[in-house]
Every structure is written in structure tokens, then in C-alpha cells.
Structure 1
Amino acid sequence: MKATSAIVGIVCLFNSVLANGEFSILHSPNGINFKGDEQLNTSELPKIISTAMGHTTPSGDSWNGLTILNPFNYPDVTISIVVEGVQSLQLSEPRYPLEIASDLYQVKNDFTSILGQVVFDENDVYSGDIQEKLTLQKLDNKDVAVLEFLKDVGVLMDLKQKVLLKSPLKTVWIQLNGLDDIVRVYGRDSEQAVEALTVLKSALTELQDALESTYGDRFMLTTITNERLRLREKRSTSNAKENNEMYWKLNLSKRYGKDYASIFNILLWTSVFLIAALISTAVFICTLDPGRDSIIYRMTTQRIKKEN
């Protein structure tokens, strides 16, 4: 009996360690129904979100919390916000325990592969302005960790503006690590962490209001939280500096944008066409035989007769 209790305790402890995240649906169209409280795995997130968007995904899913009620009422825009550093934002229902069994960056790659289209991230929406104008009580905006967090808030504010301007952002996946830095430096229950969480939740609420103002009911906003399990190496300022030095030592080629190839081909073949047209025109003019019936012959003949 004691052995059985010990095994049960170990299993419960193992599940509590793995289920250190949460998948929350802040809003979804009326044609999509999330129900129950069944735990899900991070590997299932790409299929779940893609199905909610109306895309066909491989069958065999083990999670039964999603039901499509109206296939004509899919979201026009889908935004997923990944927040590192807390287990739950306690924003709204429904919320589902999430087992962090894979790298969340890999989850985004799998999501992109299923959709077969561009998924915008924080680099696509961030204008570079850090939100230092916020009224902060416990957070010091001169601290590096706080600046990283304010940068995350700036990402959400820039995304809100793009939503209000109806920018073509159909699918967005944003990963925010600033809150995790605050928790790591000051502690989970510190006044700084509590204030940071409040600011982040306020920014998410403003984003949701902007989406509702622009798209009405036809949008889906979800959050994915991850508290302690870090399967990837933390990207710090020192690591970025070392990577930058290594980049120059390797003498790698310059990085170009995704539209570089198409623009280069357009300019290349346009230039080739214009040069070929110029050469052919010049050759044609040089080899032109005026003849007796041409306007050149008539004008030059009359001028010669007048001079004589």
C-alpha cells in the first residue's frame, strides 16, 4: 500500500513538473468552441491553432477540447502570444494545462509548416521604441531586465497600432521573454514581478480591445505561458555579443531580406532587356539604307539642289 502511494506521488510530482505552462484562449469566434479542461502537449498546439483557423491538419489528434460549430465563421486574424516566466496569466477562460515537452521556437516552426504561409513574429511588428513612458512604481527603467520587459510591452503596443491600421497581419506568433528576466532577477513573488505582470496583462487587454474594434468577433487571441522548464539556452546580452564577434570572425556573407531574390531577378532581366533593345536599335540605325523613297533621301536631295 505504501509502495502504491509512493508511486502515485511520484507520478503526480512528475506531471506537476511537466505541466508548467498554460494555453489560454482570450477570444475566439462564435463558430469555434473550446471546452473542457484536458491537458495538452506543446506538440499539439500547431494542429489545434491551425484547425481553429480552418486549415486541414493530419488526423489522429488526442486532444478533444476543440469543436468547430460553424465552418463559415473562422477568424480573419490569429495572434498567439508566448509569455515566458509564469505558469498562468489568470486572464480568462478557457484555460488548459500545458505540458512543455518541446522548444516553443520549434512549435512556431511546426505551425508555419502546417500553414504553408508567412507567420509574423515580434521582429516584424516591433518599431524599436521601448515603452519607457509607462508609470512604474517598483520597476526601475534603468535596469537591463526591466528594459527587456519594456521592449516586450512595446511589441504589444506596436502590434495594437498595426491592428488599428488594419495592417496585413493575418497570422502572428510573438515570443516575449522580458517577464522571465524580471522573475529571474527579482523573484517570482517580488513586487517587481507583480507590477510587471500587471503591466503585461493591461497591454494584452488593450490589444484585445483593438482587435475587437477592428475585426469584431472574427479574430482569435491566445496566450501560451511557460514558467520554469527551459529547454533552450537563454539568449542573453553576453551571448548575443559573443555571437556577433563570431559572425565577423567567420566572414559570412551579408544577410538579405526574403524579397531580395525576386527583386534582384526583376532588376536583372529588366536591365538585360533594356540593354538588348538599345544595342538592337543602334545597330538598326547604323545599317539603315535610306533609299530613294525615304524621307531622309527626299530632304537631302532637295537641299542639295537648292545649294547648287
Structure 2
Amino acid sequence: MLSIIATYFLALLVYVHGAGEISILQTPDSLVFSGQEQLDLSIVKNVLSAALGFTVPEGPRWSGMVVTDPFHFADAVVVVSVPGVRSLDSIQGRTYPLSTDESLQDTWRSLSWRLIDRFPTATNLTLNYLSLDQLTEAEELYGKLGSRDTPTVEYLKPSLPEDKAFIEQVNLMDAITAKLADKGVVNDGVPDAHWFTAPGLHSLIDTYGGQSKQVNEAKRLFSSSILLLSEVFNTAYNDKVLFAVISSDVVHTRRFKRDAEPKEPTLDNEGDEEDPNYPVIFNIFLWFGIAYFMVLLATSLGIARMDPGRDSIIYRMTSNRMKKDN
């Protein structure tokens, strides 16, 4: 009976929280990633926001990222999300285990809303969300893309629908990489966010199994394309980009109420509450407090070192009182 209860409880935990990982491929010099502490997917938006220099809401702290230079932050964050996949296995960079307690779409929505909330009047704000199975949308975001040769594969079969769809997504990512390497990006001082979603690997896992030769080959192929994309983005933003890869098997372990295509965030959308005037108000109180403390300290030291002398009113009053008492 106890074993049945334990099994049920474990299954319930797996249902509520999926597993995944986040890998950091590129970082600016002002950010240092270390350790192997697990983090929740719901905290990733705070990590990305902090990398851009934003004030994040109070909540659980993650010690994996340290800001070494508070005056220089990332100019952009780039994320490649892989839904339905626990791990890419062969991806490079520093990797952390992830507890997927929210959907990847929710993380993107929160991040994009914070950028809109921080720069409500900016006309040059770049918020690019792209599913790699959408060629038309990709060209709307990054311009006309050239065709790419089909990569050499051993186990994947381009004649099969699932295999073909995945290979086309890899080709689209490579085409974007080539476009960015040729044209670069507009680095205008306003932070940018690029979010790519790759649904094709999930379909391969459902078709062949997570440990199949086809899936292992697909992971290696996809990881190589991601690495090239990260290097191009890093060059385009002058080594001031945070590039992360997030894989989450939450699709297999939990069904979210909001699993539709994420909407483009607008000012009317509900987002995380964050007062844009907070840094100004904080600095006013901070410097007022410092000035008040210095004045109080100077006054206290002056009183402590004061020597009234025999001709001062304090001395005469004290002397007369002493004569009366005698």
C-alpha cells in the first residue's frame, strides 16, 4: 500500500513539474555564470531581465549568475527554446538543470512585456518571436532569406514528413545565421530580444523515441546550427549578448491552459507589475538618507568635541549654580 502511495505521489510531482535544462552559450563580460544550481523556468525571465540591467521583482534568488559590472549589461538576449525535449545532450556552454514549472510561452510573454513596460515610447524596440516552421514570418522579421543546402544525414530521411519538417527548420535557422552574418543587426542602444522555437525535434521524439539514432543525429545537427547562430549574434552585438538554449519536456508531462501561439505583447496586455519610476525614487531616498546621515554625524562629532570655555554662557550658568549650591 505504501509503495502504491509513493508511486502515485512521485507521478503527481512529475505531472506538475517537468524537467529540462538551460545552456548559456554567450555572455557579455559583465556577467559570470558558475555552479550547477537548478533553477525554475519561472525564474528564467528574471535572469534574462537582470542580464539587461532591469530591476526584477522580489522572489526566489538564483546564485548561478553574478553581475560583475553594474554599468555594462547585455544589449540583447537571444533564446532558442526546444519544447518537448528534456535535453539536447551535445549542446555546448554552461548547462543548468531546469524545473519546468511554467510554459515556455509564458516566459517569453513575461520577458517581452517587461521590455515594453521599460520602453513604452520606443519605436525601435526589437521583439522577435519566431517558430522555425514559419518561413514567411521569418522573412518578415529578418528580411529575404537565401536557400540552404540540405545537410548530410545518415539516419534521417528527407522523404518522411517528420524528418523533412525538422531538416527544414534547421535550414531556416542556418539561413537566418547567414543573413545576420551578412547584414548584422541595428544596435541602437535599446535592448533587443530574439526568441526562436524549434518544434521539429519534439515530433521526431514522438515518432522514433528519445534514444533513437534519428533523434541523436537530429540533436547533433541542431546543436551545431545553434552554436553558429550564437557566434553570429555575439559578433553582431559586439560581444554583449546573452544567448541561451532552453529545452523543456513540459509538453510531455503537463498540459497548460494557454498552449496557443503566443500573442504579440501590447501595452493593453496584462504583465508583471513593475513601476518604471522605481530606480528614480530609490536613488532619491538613497542619497537623501546618505546626506542626512552625514549631517547627523558631523553635528554629533561637533557637539562631542565642543569646549565651552570659561566665558561661555554654558560655563557661567553652571558656575553660578554651583556657587548657589555651596
Q: TM-score, normalised by structure 1?
A: 0.66
Q: What's 2:285 paired with? A: none
Q: Secondary structure at the match of 1:120?
A: strand
2: CA distance between counterparts of 1:230 and 1:148? Answer: 24
2: CA distance between counterparts of 1:27 and 1:177? Answer: 23
Q: What's 2:161 paired with? A: 144
User: What letter corresponds to residue 156 of structure 1 in structure 2?
Assistant: M
* Structure 1 residue 128, shift from structure 2 partner: 7.2
User: What letter corresponds to residue 155 of structure 1 in structure 2?
Assistant: L
**What value does the CA root-mean-square deviation take over the aligned residues?**
3.2
Change (3 A) 1:162 1:125: same
1:53-108 CA-partner distances (Å, limit 9, x unpaired): 11222223432322211123322232100012421223234222211122211221
Change (3 A) 1:15 1:65: farther
User: What letter corresponds to residue 156 of structure 2 in structure 1?
Assistant: L
User: What letter corresponds to residue 112 of structure 1 in structure 2?
Assistant: S
Q: Name structure 1 gaps, 5 residues minimum.
A: 241-257, 259-308
User: What letter corresponds to residue 207 of structure 1 in structure 2?
Assistant: L
Question: Which of 212, 228, 253 matches 1:190?
Answer: 212
Contact 1:27 1:220 in 2 (8 A): yes
Q: What's 1:214 paired with? A: 236
* Structure 1 residue 157, shift from structure 2 partner: 1.5
1:78-227 maps to which residues of 2 (within 5 A)? Answer: 78-90=77-89, 91-116=91-116, 117-122=125-130, 123=137, 124-125=141-142, 133-164=150-181, 165-168=183-186, 170-227=192-249
1: CA distance between counterparts of 2:35 and 2:10? Answer: 20
Larger RCO: 1 or 2 (CA < 8 Å, sep 6+): 2
Change (3 A) 1:55 1:234: closer
Change (3 A) 1:53 1:7: farther
1:208-245 CA-partner distances (Å, limit 9, x unpaired): 2323443442221100001233525999xxx99xxxxx
1: CA distance between counterparts of 2:80 and 2:254? Answer: 17
Change (3 A) 1:78 1:158: farther
* Structure 1 residue 30, shift from structure 2 partner: 1.8
Contact 2:24 2:94 in 1 (8 A): yes
Contact 2:230 2:243 in 1 (8 A): yes
2: CA distance between counterparts of 1:7 and 1:33? Answer: 43
Contact 2:150 2:167 in 1 (8 A): no
Change (3 A) 1:145 1:211: same
Q: Name structure 2 gaps, 5 residues minimum.
A: 117-124, 131-136, 267-326
Contact 2:180 2:233 in 1 (8 A): yes
Deviates more, 1:137-146 or 1:60-69: 60-69
* Structure 1 residue 203, shift from structure 2 partner: 0.2
2: CA distance between counterparts of 1:33 and 1:10? Answer: 40
2: CA distance between counterparts of 1:234 and 1:138? Answer: 35
Deviates more, 1:9-18 or 1:209-218: 9-18
CA radius of gyration, larger in = 1
1: CA distance between counterparts of 2:32 and 2:163? Answer: 37
* Structure 1 residue 125, shift from structure 2 partner: 4.1
2: CA distance between counterparts of 1:107 and 1:175? Answer: 12
* Structure 1 residue 9, shift from structure 2 partner: 7.9
1:232-247 maps to which residues of 2 (within 5 A)? Answer: 232=256
User: What letter corresponds to residue 232 of structure 2 in structure 1?
Assistant: A
Change (3 A) 1:93 1:14: farther
Residue 68 of structure 2 corresponds to residue 69 of structure 1: yes
Aligned length: 236
User: What letter corresponds to residue 22 of structure 1 in structure 2?
Assistant: E
Contact 2:148 2:175 in 1 (8 A): no
Contact 1:78 1:172 in 2 (8 A): yes
Q: Secondary structure at the match of 2:128?
A: coil
